[in-house]
């Protein structure tokens, strides 16, 4: 099984992770790294790492100075081009999935890239409502809203949109017993602390279960106790509601999966870690799990 690896921001830890984990992940898949030889050699020299003989690359044009830990437009542009190349390989059926190493959103912005991250690119390319799910086999969390200001979240909580999201999430995962978090403290306390649970979330849960003719979704759950068992499958109403507990519990092993697309994309669930870039300290477990998810779940 071939997997395209977009190399991420070369001023961060992505290349170190790719080189470190190569011998591990090649047990499960055949990785194709979207980077050119010159940039690969520059990065390996900074790390004082030997490039494996079977480290197969797909050329991505570009040449610039790697500046460890620096937010830089050239690094941002290159990480975007690497991702676009990985998407092209997947669309052309030359690979069966994509795994992305971390980009820096500010570097993308400095490079004039209009997108905030990988998922937004995938939505635009495939004209599909990609679902962002993060976690590990013990605990997966899907985000109903993602990278938007918190003040905008309540206006997005609408029954019909929730139903569509619920159904797409179920069809993409075949998970059962999916807990849906409430928006408000105490899941609204019967409308005292907010009525989104009564007016939008509960009706969406009931209608989605009726459409599926099975009880897949339950809730709305009180958000501050939903994760107390440290396991399960959940849908969070907003970014930090789902990811703060997930990362507190499973930061090193958690991954990011893009669902509801014609291609499978997984990613590490961490950033560029500029503070430790090219210091030999980067951990590889999240990346290895991202590859393993493809190995285990790709039909």
DSSP structure string for 232-269: EEEEESSHHHHHHHHHHHHTTT-EEEEESSSS-EEEES
Work out the angle between the directed axes of helices 73-91 and 118-126 (0-180°, nearest 10): 40
Q: For residue 40, what are its two tokens? A: 């690969």
User: Computed over its alpha carbons, how large is the radius of gyration of the chain?
Assistant: 20
Band of residue 215 on the pLDDT scale cut at 50, 70, 90: very high
- Are residues 295 and 27 in contact, defined by beta-carbon separation less than 8 angstroms? no
- pTM of the predicted model, to two decimals? 0.87
d(CA 79, CA 217): 38
- pLDDT (tens digit per residue) in 277-291: 999 999 999 999 999
Looking at every residue in the chain, the average pLDDT score rounds to: 96
Using CB atoms within 10 Å of the CB of residue 93, give its burial: 0 to 12 exposed, 13 to 18 middle, 19+ buried. exposed
Mean pLDDT value of segment 188-193: 94
The domains found in the chain, sorted by start residue, are: 1-128+261-299 (3.40.718.10), 137-252 (3.40.718.10)
Residue bearing the bigger pLDDT, 154 or 298: 154
């Amino acid at each position: 099984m071939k997997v395209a690896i977009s190399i991420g921001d070369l001023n961060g830890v992505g290349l170190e992770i790719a080189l470190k984990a190569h011998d591990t992940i090649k047990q499960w898949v055949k990785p194709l790294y979207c980077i050119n030889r010159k940039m690969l050699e520059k990065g390996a020299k900074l790390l004082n790492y030997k490039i494996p003989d079977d480290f197969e690359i797909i050329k991505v044009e570009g040449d610039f100075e790697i500046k460890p830990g620096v937010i830089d437009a050239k690094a941002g542009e290159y990480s975007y081009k690497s991702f676009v190349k990985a998407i092209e390989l997947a669309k052309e059926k030359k690979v069966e999935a994509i795994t992305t190493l971390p980009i820096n959103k500010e570097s993308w912005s400095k490079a004039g890239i209009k997108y905030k991250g990988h998922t937004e690119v995938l939505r635009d390319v495939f004209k599909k409502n990609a679902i962002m799910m993060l976690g590990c086999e013990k605990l997966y969390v899907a985000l109903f809203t993602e990278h938007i200001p918190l003040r905008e979240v309540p206006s997005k909580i609408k029954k019909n949109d929730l139903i569509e999201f619920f159904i797409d999430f179920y069809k993409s995962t075949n998970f059962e017993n999916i807990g849906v978090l409430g928006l408000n403290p105490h899941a609204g306390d019967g409308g005292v602390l907010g009525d989104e649970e009564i007016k939008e979330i509960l009706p969406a849960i009931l209608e989605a279960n009726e459409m599926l003719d099975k009880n897949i979704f339950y809730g709305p759950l009180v958000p501050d106790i939903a994760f107390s068992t440290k396991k399960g499958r959940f849908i969070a109403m907003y970014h930090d509601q789902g990811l703060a507990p997930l990362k507190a519990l499973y930061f090193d092993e958690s991954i990011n999966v893009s669902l509801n697309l014609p291609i499978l994309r997984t990613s590490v669930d961490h950033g560029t870690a500029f503070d430790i870039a090219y210091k030999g300290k980067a951990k590889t477990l999240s990346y290895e799990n991202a590859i393993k998810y493809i190995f285990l779940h790709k039909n």
